[in-house]
Structures are given as C-alpha cells and as structure tokens.
A and B are shown apart, each in its own frame.
Chain A
Amino acid sequence: MSPKTVQYRAGSIIYFEGDQPDNRVFILNSGKVCLKYSDIETGAEIQEFINKGAFFGVKSALGRYPQEETTQVIEDSTVVVFTIPEFEQLAQQNTRVVLKMLQVFSTQLRRIHKTVQNLMNAKVSVSPETGLYNIACYYLKQQRFSQAIYAFGRYLMIYPHGQFAAEAAKNLETAEARLGQQKSPASSFAPGKLPASDARVIEKPARTKELSGAAQQYYQGVSYVTNSKYKEALEVFKQIIEAGLDAEYVPRAVFEVGRCYYFLKMYDKSNQIFSNMVQKYPKHPDLNEALYYVAKANEEAGNRQKAMELYRRLMSLTAPTDPLNRQVKQAFKALEGAR
C-alpha cells in the first residue's frame, strides 16, 4: 500500500472544522491551502497557510477527534493522502519526520497549556519552594514516612539555603526515626533522642536561620542513603570528615560512612569504621546502633557465634522500651532458631 496523490481545485474544501474524525493524514505537495479556525479565546477567525511539505489533519486522524479547522484550497493543489496505517509506517521509518511533528505539537501544547493556566490561576498560588515543603509535611502528618523522607530530602537538595531548611532537616530526622521503628532490622535508627516534629503546613513563610554548611552536606548525604545512592553518600560524608569543621556533624558522618559500607555489603570495612568510631568517640549517640550493624555484618558473613554474642551484649545495653532492643531480640531469636 502506498499513499495517493490527489489533485484539489481552487475553492474546494478538504474538510470542515467540526467534521467527524477522518481516517486520513495529508501533506501539501504543491499549490496553496489555508487552515481556517476560530480562536477559542477571542472568537476571531484565524487563517494560516500550510507550508509545502507540512502535514495536516494528523491530530484528528490519530486521536479520533473532530477536525479543528476548515482546510480551504486557494489555488489548484496536489496533496499526498495517507491512511492511518500508511502514516504509522512512515512515522516508524522516519524519525526526522516524527521529531519535527513533535516539535510543532509541543509548541502548540506549551502555548495552550500556558493560556489555560493563566485562566485557572486567578488566585495567588504558593511558590514551588513552599509547595514542596507543604507536600513533605502532608506526608509526615499522614505517617507516610518513606514518602516524607523523599520529599524533605528533595527539598533540602533543591533549597539548601531555603526558608524552611532547618525545619525540613528536623522533620527528615523525625521521619527517618519513625520509619526505622516501623520497619524490620537493617534500617535507619534515631540518633539518640527523637526530635520534636515540626510538620505544620506553612501558609505564610517564616523566618528561620540557615543550616550550616556541614549540616547541609550531612542531610544531602542522608538523602542519598535513603535513595540507596551509597557511593554518592560516601563521598559527601567523607568530605565532612575531611573538612573536620563541625564538631556535631563529623562523628555523625563517621557513623553514616559505616552504614554506607554496610549497605554496600563491604562488611570488613564497615566493621572497621565502627570499631574506630567507638574508640574515637566513646560518647557517640549512635554507639548501640553501630554495634547492631557490626552484629548484622557478622551474621551476613556467616559468623553466627560472634553475631549472637553481639546481640546478647546489645540486649543488656538497651532498655526494653528502646525500639532497638526489640529489633535485636527478633534478630537473636531468628538466629537462634536457624540451626
């Protein structure tokens, strides 16, 4: 099958605006054809001449929509007529044609989308920054913690100097802690005590102080970990440690480096990091968690006795109300039961 060439006399109409969908797609080969339609906003009649080699009637044919315009033949013209299967074949074989068409459509779509948006947004809408922060708060309120983590993480990556950066960081920690409580072992734990949740949805922007450089980097790293981008996370945490500027975030970064190696299944490395951490920072808030990862690493590596010994030690180190205590008990029981 191949497309037909059809002659049209001056003054004829190929199709009328509003006609039921055609099964035909056209290309103007020679002559003069013009498209006539009413502008939706003003009602004014618009006339556009079709360029030689340009397609017309595509949207109506492919989408099965009524024709959007009347095509009037001004001078005697020749037109190539495709059936839908013929056009589909052409589209599959000729990327150039398709790209050009998509470019034309995307310009049309962009223009009309903008017009619609302008008419819709009569009221003042929030900025993207506020909008994103509000969404993250919504998920936290709904206790959908992994989604809250994603959204706060994205906020901190996009707006590290943002209006809500400090609150977002706090809320990210809260979400991670709560998620850790929900999930089974080998997920993140609260570093020390749980920070208070600050998940008010923001109507008016509040003045808050900016996060320090190290803090911003830290939360970026945490965000990477949440998205399983451990190599990227390692880079960021190592930078914090190397810079050595922030007494609060360096030890936390050390802990996170250990965790990243654990998640990368590099158990020798993670154990080494944790063991050094315990020596260097004997008052580190995440000591128990670190020990837990060492225990899990031993379990993964097949050192059952060592793992059980560490789990036993952890059970005596943690209060029964500590969620970590519960996880350790579960892990211990599982290991005990598996002979």
Chain B
Amino acid sequence: MQALFQRFARTFKKGDIIFCEHEPGDNFYLIQTGRVQIVKIMGEIEKIVDILNPGEIFGEMAMLEEAPRSATAIALDDVEAFEFNKENFELLLKGNPQIALILIRLFAKRIYDQKRRLMILTLKDPEAKVADVFIMLGENTAPEEGQTEIEINTKVEDIAHWAGMDPAKCKEIISRFIAQGKIAVFPEKIIVKEMKDLVRLVNARRKPKEK
C-alpha cells in the first residue's frame, strides 16, 4: 500500500507555494509531514486564514466545483503530502480507509461552518450581525471558573469580514458595544462581558420562523 501511495506523494520545500489563490486547480492534498499555511492576500496585506497539520486535508473544494482556488497554500515547513483528484480519489479511499472518516468529518465541519456563517449573513440588522459573529466565535469557548467573560482571539477586521460588512461600519458598531459595556477590545483579542446579552439581542432581531 505504501508503494501505491508513493505515486501520489509530493514534496514541497519550506516556503514553496503549493497553489496560488485564483489558479485553477483540481488536486487536493493530505498532509503527511510538515505544516501548511493557508493565506489570502488583500491589497497589501497577507492574512493567515489557517495553519494545517499532518493528517489534515486541504484543497478539497477543487474536488467539488470548477472554481479557482480561493486561497494560497504555502509550505510552512518542508512538507510531504499526497496529491489526489476526482479521478484517483476512489483508489485513495480503497487503499486508505481511514481517509474516508477524515473526509466525512471534514465535510461535516465545512457544512456546519458555512451554515453558521449563513445564519450571520442573513440577519438584516447590522448590530445583530456583529453580535452574532461574537457569539459564533465564542461558541467553542467556555468562560473561566466563576466568570462570565469570554476571551476571543480576533481582530476588528476579522469581525467585519465574518459579518460581510464594511470595516468602517463594523468599527462604528463595535465602538457602540464598547460604550454600552458589552465588550472590551484589545490589540490581539476581544473580551465579551456577558454573552447572554448578545444572544438576546440577536434572537430579538432574527427573522421569526414562518409556519
């Protein structure tokens, strides 16, 4: 089985671009060793979207649709990865069944994340949008013992991006939240004083379910 796999093995040196945003591409990758950084370049700023470790898969959207790459993948270390596409994908699964579960979990996560994002984007009220971004980012964090505060590692620009909103408008809303004592903003993180307040705000402004 190892020999079969070597056919699909590719190596990248640290700093190599694996694929560039906007390139066409129909390969996806399963990392064996090393880490891969996913970045997007917006104007003069390079933004790290994610860092992936061995055992993780990237580039899978290429398998699903004929669309250009949505981000750039760069080898953060020397990287060994298996490179697959729609055609040899079945072969991959037969030879390495545990990949099936990695992929099912990955797709489940992607679908869940997209649905969560969609919930934010479909809110009409801009304040509710921003509040829901905080709720989403805090969803996997529990407050410290005896506290209600939740610390979120994020920047104001990221909030605007999640809310699908103009950064200036987002900053306005965040300033209002700060003035209302709902949140505190620091250079590398944001603290939500009382998540329940934000949840109440969002629920009040969310479209009521039609019967």
What residues make up the interface of A, taking CB atoms closer than 8 Å to B? Answer: 38, 40-45, 58-59, 62-63, 65, 68, 88, 91-93, 95, 98-99, 101-102, 105-106, 108-110, 112-113, 115-116, 119-120, 122, 128-129, 131-132, 134-136, 138, 144, 146-147, 150-151, 154, 158, 201
Contact between A92 and B115, CB atoms less than 8 A apart: no
Q: List 21 A-B contacts (CB under 8 A).
A: A41-B122, A43-B210, A44-B210, A45-B210, A58-B104, A62-B101, A62-B105, A65-B112, A92-B98, A95-B94, A102-B100, A102-B107, A109-B107, A110-B64, A110-B65, A116-B121, A122-B164, A128-B22, A135-B20, A135-B22, A135-B41
Inter-subunit contact A102/B101 (CB<8 Å) = no
**Contact (Cβ within 8 A) A40 B107:** no
Other than the given A146-B16, A151-B17, 6 more pairs (CB < 8 A) read A65-B112, A92-B101, A98-B93, A102-B107, A110-B65, A146-B15
Task: Check A132 against B23 for contact (C-beta < 8 Å).
Answer: yes
Q: What is the CB-to-nearest-CB distance from B32 to chain A, in angstroms, rounded to a whole number?
A: 20
Contact B114 A112 (CB under 8 A): yes
Taking the closest CB of chain B, its distance from the CB of A120, in whole angstroms, is 5
Shortest Cβ-Cβ A-B pairs, 9 listed: A131-B22, A92-B97, A59-B108, A105-B107, A63-B108, A98-B100, A132-B22, A128-B22, A119-B121
Q: Smallest Cβ distance from B71 to chain A, in angstroms?
A: 11
B103 at the interface (CB under 8 A from A): yes
A104 — nearest CB in chain B belongs to which residue? B107
Residue of B nearest to A150 (CB): B17
A24 → B minimal CB distance (Å): 15
Q: Which residue of A lies closest to B72 (CB)?
A: A135
Please tell me if B169 contacts chain A, counting CB pairs below 8 Å: no
Identify which of residues 73-127 in chain B touch chain A, using a CB-to-CB cut-off of 8 Å: 74, 90, 93-94, 97-98, 100-101, 103-105, 107-112, 114-115, 117-119, 121-122
Nearest B residue (CB) for A60? B108
Q: Which residues of B contact A151 (CB under 8 A)?
A: 17, 20
Q: How far is the CB of A104 from chain B (nearest CB, A)?
A: 9
Given B41, B44, B112, B121, which contacts A120 in the complex, CB threshold below 8 Å? B121
Number of B residues near A (Cβ < 8 Å) is: 48
Instruction: Tell me if B191 counts as interface (CB < 8 A to partner A).
Output: no
| Nearest chain B CB to A169 CB, angstrom units | 17
Task: Check A91 against B100 for contact (C-beta < 8 Å).
Answer: yes
> Is B184 engaged at the interface, CB distance under 8 Å to the other chain?
no
Return the chain A residue nearest B105 by Cβ: A62
Q: By the criterion CB–CB under 8 Å, are B93 and A95 in contact?
A: yes
Query: Complex: how many Å from CA A91 to CA B207?
Result: 39
Q: Which residues of B contact A65 (CB under 8 A)?
A: 108, 112
B20 touches A113 (CB 8 A): no
Per the bound structure, the CA–CA distance linking A262 and B68 in Å amounts to 36
Query: B61's contact among A38, A43, A113, A131, by CB below 8 Å, is which?
Result: A113
A271 shortest CB reach to chain B, Å: 28
Q: Which residue of A lies closest to B207 (CB)?
A: A43
Interface centre among A62, A113, A129 (most CB of B within 10 A): A113
A107, closest chain B residue (CB): B64
In the bound complex, residues from chain A placing their C-beta under 8 Å from that of B44 are 138
